[in-house]
Amino acid sequence: MIAISQKNIIDFFPNEQMREIFIERLKEDDKWIHSFPDQNHFRNHFVFDFGCGEIRPSYTVHLEDLLPAWRNKLQENDRLLEENFDPEQLQIRNNKVIYRNIKAKKIIYCDGIRSFENPLFTTLPFSFNKGEALIIHAPDLPNTHTFKKGVFLSPMLTQDLFWVGSNYIWEYKDAKPTTKFRDITQTFLKSWLKVPFDIVDHKSSIRPATLERRPFVGLHPAHPNIAMLNGMGTKGCSLAPYFAKQLVQHLLFNKPIHAEADLKRFEKILSRTVS
CA–CA separation, 62 vs 25, rounded Å? 30
Quick one: what percent of the chain has pLDDT higher than 70?
99
Separation CA 66–CA 157 (nearest Å): 11
DSSP β-bridge partners for residue 104: 97
Confidence of residue 234 (pLDDT cuts 50, 70, 90): confident
Separation CA 222–CA 228 (nearest Å) = 13
pLDDT confidence of residue 273: 57
Tell how many helices (H) and how many strands (E) occur in the chain.
Answer: 5, 16
Closest by CA position to 230, among listed 123, 131, 114, 79: 114
Whole-number Å distance between alpha carbons of 194 and 70: 38
pLDDT band for position 275 (cuts 50, 70, 90): very low
pLDDT per residue as tens digits for the range 146-192: 999 989 999 999 999 999 988 999 999 999 999 999 999 999 999 99
Q: Please say whether the beta carbons of 136 and 198 come within 8 A.
A: yes
- pLDDT category at 74 given cuts 50, 70, 90 is very high
From residue 115, give the alpha-carbon distance in Å to each of 106, 120, 143, 171, 216. 16, 8, 38, 19, 11
Partners of residue 133 on adjacent β-strands = 165, 203
Residue-wise pLDDT tens digits, 82-139: 999 998 999 988 889 999 999 999 999 999 999 988 889 999 999 999 999 999 999 9
274 pLDDT band (50/70/90 cuts)?
low
In angstroms, the Cα distances linking 149 to 15, 45, 51, 180, 266 are: 10, 13, 11, 19, 38
Query: What integer pLDDT is reported at residue 257 of this predicted model?
Result: 97
Read off the pLDDT of residues 190-224 as tens digits, 9 standing for 90 and up.
999 999 999 999 999 999 999 999 999 999 998 99
- Cα gap 41→10, rounded to integer Å: 11
Contacts of residue 205, defined as CB under 8 A and 6 or more positions apart, other chains included, come to: 130, 131, 175
Q: How many CB atoms lie within 10 A of CB 253?
A: 7
Res. 30 pLDDT band, cuts 50 70 90: confident
Q: Which domains does the chain show, CATH number per domain?
A: 4-60+129-207 (3.30.9.10), 83-126+212-274 (3.50.50.60)
